[in-house]
Amino acid sequence: MKQTISFTLNGNSVTVESHPMQPLLYALREDADAPGTKYGCGEGECGACTVILNDELVMSCLVPVVQAEGARVETIEGLANADELHAVQQAFLESGGAQCGICTPGMIMAGVHHLRHPERAPGGVPEALEGNLCRCTGYTRIFTAMKRAKEILSAGGTGS
Amino acid sequence: MPMSGEFKEKILAPLMSISTGKDLKFVGKSILRKEGIDKVTGRARYVDDVKTPGALYGKTLRSSIACGRIKKISFAPNIPWDQFTIVDARDVPYNRVLQIESDQPVLCDGVVLHREEPILLIAHEDPGLVETAIRSITVEYEREPGIFNIGEGRILKQYDIEEGDWKKEFAAAEVVFEGEYKTGAQEHVYIETNGFIACWEDECLTVHGSMQCPYYVHKALKYAFKLQDDQINVVQMTTGGGFGGKEDFPSVLAIHAALLAKKSGRTVRLIYDRAEDMASSTKRHPSISKVRTACTKDGILRAIDFSFHIDGGAYITLSPVVLSRGIVHAFGPYKWPAAKLHAQCFFTNSPPYGAFRGFGAPQSLFAIEAHMTALANHLGMDPAELRRRNFIHRGDTMPTGQVVDEDPNMEALLDRALELSDYKTKRARWKRGGGKGISLSTFMHGTGFTGSGEVYLASRVGIATTKDGGAEVRVSSTEIGQGTETVFPQIAAEALGIDISKVSFRRPETKVVPNSGPTVASRTCSVVGKLVERAAGKLKQRLAGADIRQHYAQHGEAYEEVEYVPRPGLVWDDDKYKGSAYGAYSWCVNVAEVTVDPVTAMPRVDTLTATVDVGTIINPVLAHGQMEGGIAQGIGWATCENVVLKEGLMENHHLTNYVIPTSADAARIVVEFMPSPYSEGAFGSKGVGELPMDGPGPAIVSALNDAMEAKFTHLPLLPEEMLK
Ligand code: FES
Ligand code: FES
């Protein structure tokens, strides 16, 4: 039943033994030792499990791991480099965009993706982050953080 | 990819003090969240992130009926049951969950009192098999009719408070006005579901979990397993939101996980999926309030007759104190020469209702605030003006008998909120029924436990010197997103006179930290924070100017602990239910601006303005975060969060059909702090956590009434109702 599936996770190649239909979320958390990506509902409603798969934003609880075969997967663990946070991480930290932090990995991935492809959300940040629920912040400080992230980037900060 | 501590220092150091305060070094400054880097890098470890090789996965079999008896439980023959650990009521040393009372069984013992009541626990190494197995167990019941409406069942708790000659006031009143107000249940939707991991070693139990109150869990484990204090260690993991939902409920879960671990002799993970969490966990108590007021033609209030009824569900849990907090806020921030307050909580066959941010006060304040606006309309007065004429002041007596000994400054808060929102212009411009509305609410929220609660708690706080020349704060108050892990070090650093980077916060585990009480009731920053301030002051005295590093090298750890001391002059009579309900109140004004879509009747909260007195602000970014997040939950409760009850159970227990606000419908939230410091709160702070939940509901419903030229008196107010 189990199958060998290989993909690139944050630039490193990983191979997992997994049932092909198992959601990518669990393959990441349990098999690939990357528990930064969170479970919130398993139904595609909360966005806590958001990752970037071949440059597309996906809810990893809905993506069978077999779809990641040969793909490039980016998660929260891959954003910061050795001594610098990614601009979006930095901005969330400074602006109070993270409270309990459980939505944060998914929210930040959605934020990163939005800054790479702003044209995909004509309504801007509120639209880009619509799939990511946050119960703590009321979103106000997440919006502030996204503004701040743009500033950090235009000042030459880390992030791509 | 482990990142070094150095990484943290490097990033935090230049950012630590984004200055906003003046005289103090750390208090009043937006010090960055101490655990912030872990949270933004995905390194923070929540309970489900803990690796437990060889552990079993637990699952709960729950009742499918609301009321009746269990006749028979059958296990399908196709499952190798001997490979499973199966626990039932007979395996519980003492089958009771200790909260305020101990009426709730850990597992059903023949009698079922609500749907989703736990009956059996099973565990296996393979989580997939557990799912299959649980579906292969059949329970046969003998059904009995259940009770699902407030007022039909037995009374769970009742309070009656009277002040002045209210009968005479009503008899002589120029205007008597009455109304009935209803609020629905509300689900917390913390994004991290409930979970515990339990293991036993030599008769000692350790549980790791998501929770607000480690010592509540400790107490419940001790009771159910008949253990000694030192046989239990409760460890809080990073907790993904609580809002009251992880106050009482985790005790049940921890006992369940510990039962499976005990019987199997293995480590057991009991982590709920979203549907199970939403169906079985506690919710905000639904309420019905009848409010009758007497006033003069000019709107000077003379008397209030408030009857407050809530649904407690099948077991007592925390309902008596929810009812209590509700009724002692029911009169709002107004002066009443006479009052009659009556509160009842009823048993029903719903899963027990529990703590939710505000704890009864949002329900009663919804009623009084919706009523005040309706009364203003009845009198032909501006609702802001009616309130202004009746605000309570220093020296006035509340219906509880409490003499106000602080300056509420409600007029100033009101003026500023009206100015910030441009209330007058908009109110004049927006015609009633024209699709846009603006309205307000004015309210207060007590800091800390009600009445003698803080005295009974007798909270303790510890602080210790560390090897590197710093200090460590030891409390059982948890970080659940609100900022405890940052605010306490700020307070301690300020009181000790050392740098904030040198003060750390010990993640609560009951083996190590003293009991500083539960993380509830808007008490952490102000009440427990004051103890942190005192403990740090005591440590400073003991150090007498010595260099901490050297002191540690010579004498080892220096540790100081302090206990709560009741505020002098604060008297509460538990029998009469009168006296000083709280040491201090936080005060607030909300203005809501709404638009209703003319075709779909979809309401939108455009702007919610709040002027706020929560005393001294310890950390502006964190305090804003509390206000904004609470306001968003209030907006959700008023406009979209509809718990559909069927036989007492939340039928829509999925995020697909229970809707909370998203970024796309986020309101613009404007918060301005106007602090008046409280001498007994840490550096002058008062409670902030619950206050923001109280005001949005009534302000929004009143604004929607204006926009639609309607007279709604309940929430949530859904588009389909407004279309009618
Ligand atoms: S866990 Fe994937 S969307 Fe909620
Ligand atoms: S920070 Fe808690 S859910 Fe977003």
CATH class of B452-569: alpha beta
Residues with Cβ < 8 Å from B83, sequence gap 6 or more? B124
Backbone angles phi and psi of B360, in degrees to 5: 95, -30
Chain A CB contacts of B49 under 8 Å are 29, 35
Q: Range(s) for CATH 1.10.150.120 in chain A?
A: 87-154
What percentage of chain A has pLDDT greater than the value 90?
Answer: 94
Radius of gyration, CA atoms only, chain A: 15
- As a whole number of angstroms, the distance between CA A91 and CA A110 comes to 14
Q: Is there an atom of ligand 1 within 6 Å of A63 CB?
A: no
- As a whole number of angstroms, the distance between CA A114 and CA A160 comes to 11
Mutate to test the interface with A, among B10, B15, B238, B663 (most CBs of A within 10 A): B663
**Nearest by Cα to B305 from B340, B253, B274:** B340
- In this structure, the number of other CB atoms found within 10 A of the CB of residue B105 comes to 20
Identify the pLDDT of residue B1.
35
Chain A CB contacts of B481 under 8 Å are 99-101, 136
Identify the pLDDT of residue B18.
41
Fold of A87-154: DNA polymerase; domain 1 (1.10.150)
Q: Range(s) for CATH 3.10.20.30 in chain A?
A: 3-78
**Nearest by Cα to B460 from B415, B496, B513, B403:** B513
Region A3-78: CATH code = 3.10.20.30
Mutate to test the interface with B, among A85, A135, A146 (most CBs of B within 10 A): A135
By most ligand atoms within 8 Å of CB, the mutation choice from A24, A46, A132 for ligand 1 is: A46
Identify the pLDDT of residue A158.
77
- With beta carbons less than 8 A apart as the criterion, state whether B345 and B320 touch: yes
Identify the pLDDT of residue B567.
84
Token pair 């709920």 is found at B272
- With beta carbons less than 8 A apart as the criterion, state whether B674 and B413 touch: yes
Average pLDDT (A135-160) is: 93
- Looking from the CA of residue A41, the nearest atom of ligand 1 is 4
State the Cα angle at B579 between B575 and B584, rounded to 5°.
135
Identify the pLDDT of residue B2.
39
Q: Is there an atom of ligand 1 within 6 Å of A9 CB?
A: no
Instruction: Look up residue B248 and give its two tokens.
Output: 């009482």
Do you know the residue count of chain B?
724
Going by alpha carbons, the residue nearest to atom 2 of ligand 2 is: A100
In this complex, do A96 and B37 lie within 8 Å of one another by their Cβ atoms? no
Give helix B249-264 / helix B214-225 axis angle, nearest 10°. 50
- As a whole number of angstroms, the distance between CA A139 and CA B86 comes to 43
Identify the pLDDT of residue B569.
82
**Nearest by Cα to B558 from B581, B541, B583:** B541
**A37 Cα to the center of ligand 1, angstroms:** 10
In this complex, do A136 and B189 lie within 8 Å of one another by their Cβ atoms? no
ipTM at complex level: 0.98
- The CATH architecture annotation of domain B287-451+576-723 reads 2-Layer Sandwich (3.30)
- As a whole number of angstroms, the distance between CA B511 and CA B513 comes to 6
**Nearest by Cα to B184 from B722, B634, B637:** B637
**A67 Cα to the center of ligand 2, angstroms:** 29
**Nearest by Cα to B357 from B194, B217, B510, B247:** B247
- With beta carbons less than 8 A apart as the criterion, state whether B589 and B412 touch: no
Chain B CB contacts of A125 under 8 Å are 663
Radius of gyration, CA atoms only, chain B: 26
- Residue in chain B closest to A46 (alpha carbons) equals B655
- With beta carbons less than 8 A apart as the criterion, state whether B488 and B520 touch: no
In this complex, do A138 and B40 lie within 8 Å of one another by their Cβ atoms? no
DSSP type of residue B238? B
Residues of chain B with pLDDT under 50: 1-4, 14-21
In Å, the largest CA–CA distance within chain A is 51
Cα-based torsion angle of the residue sequence B615, B620, B624, B630 in order, rounded to the nearest 10 degrees: -50
Q: Range(s) for CATH 3.90.1170.50 in chain B?
A: 56-143
Identify the pLDDT of residue B5.
56
Chain A to chain B Cβ contacts (< 8 Å): 182
By most ligand atoms within 8 Å of CB, the mutation choice from A45, A109, A133, A134 for ligand 1 is: A45
Instruction: Look up residue A31 and give its two tokens.
Output: 């098999």
Give the distance, in angstroms, between the CA of residue B593 and the centroid of all CA atoms in the same chain: 26
In this complex, do B41 and A89 lie within 8 Å of one another by their Cβ atoms? yes
Chain A CB contacts of B622 under 8 Å are 96
Token pair 């919710």 is found at B283
- With beta carbons less than 8 A apart as the criterion, state whether B493 and B500 touch: yes
Summarize pLDDT for A6-15 with one digit per residue, the tens: 999 999 999 9
Minimal CA separation from A69 to chain B, in Å: 22
In this complex, do B666 and A139 lie within 8 Å of one another by their Cβ atoms? yes
- Looking from the CA of residue A135, the nearest atom of ligand 2 is 3
**A136 Cα to the center of ligand 2, angstroms:** 4
By most ligand atoms within 8 Å of CB, the mutation choice from A137, A141, A142, A144 for ligand 2 is: A137
- As a whole number of angstroms, the distance between CA B132 and CA B97 comes to 29
**Nearest by Cα to B100 from B518, B609, B721, B660:** B518
Region B56-143: CATH code = 3.90.1170.50
Beta bridge partners of B269: B57, B197
Q: Range(s) for CATH 3.30.365.10 in chain B?
A: 287-451+576-723, 452-569
Positive or negative torsion for Cα A13, A15, A21, A24:
negative
Summarize pLDDT for B374-386 with one digit per residue, the tens: 999 999 999 999 9
Ligand with minimal distance to A102 CA: 2
- With beta carbons less than 8 A apart as the criterion, state whether B486 and B30 touch: no
Identify the pLDDT of residue A134.
98
- With beta carbons less than 8 A apart as the criterion, state whether B169 and B294 touch: yes
In this complex, do B193 and A98 lie within 8 Å of one another by their Cβ atoms? no
Amino acid at B136: S
Positive or negative torsion for Cα A153, A154, A156, A160:
positive
- Looking from the CA of residue B241, the nearest atom of ligand 2 is 2
Give the distance, in angstroms, between the CA of residue B626 and the centroid of all CA atoms in the same chain: 12
Identify the pLDDT of residue B21.
43
Mutate to test the interface with B, among A19, A41, A86 (most CBs of B within 10 A): A41
**B177 Cα to the center of ligand 2, angstroms:** 42
Residues with Cβ < 8 Å from B487, sequence gap 6 or more? B524, B525, B529, B618, B619, B622
**B246 Cα to the center of ligand 1, angstroms:** 21
In this complex, do A104 and B40 lie within 8 Å of one another by their Cβ atoms? yes
- In this structure, the number of other CB atoms found within 10 A of the CB of residue B651 comes to 15
Amino acid at B343: A
In this complex, do B480 and A100 lie within 8 Å of one another by their Cβ atoms? yes
Instruction: Look up residue B374 and give its two tokens.
Output: 């309706």
Going by alpha carbons, the residue nearest to atom 3 of ligand 2 is: A134
Burial class of residue A5 (count of CB atoms within 10 Å of its CB; 0-12, 13-18, 19+): buried
Q: Is there an atom of ligand 2 within 6 Å of B191 CB?
A: yes
In this complex, do A99 and B661 lie within 8 Å of one another by their Cβ atoms? no
Q: Is there an atom of ligand 2 within 6 Å of B481 CB?
A: yes
Instruction: Look up residue B551 and give its two tokens.
Output: 């002191």
Amino acid at B190: Y
- As a whole number of angstroms, the distance between CA B444 and CA B335 comes to 13
Q: Is there an atom of ligand 2 within 6 Å of A117 CB?
A: no
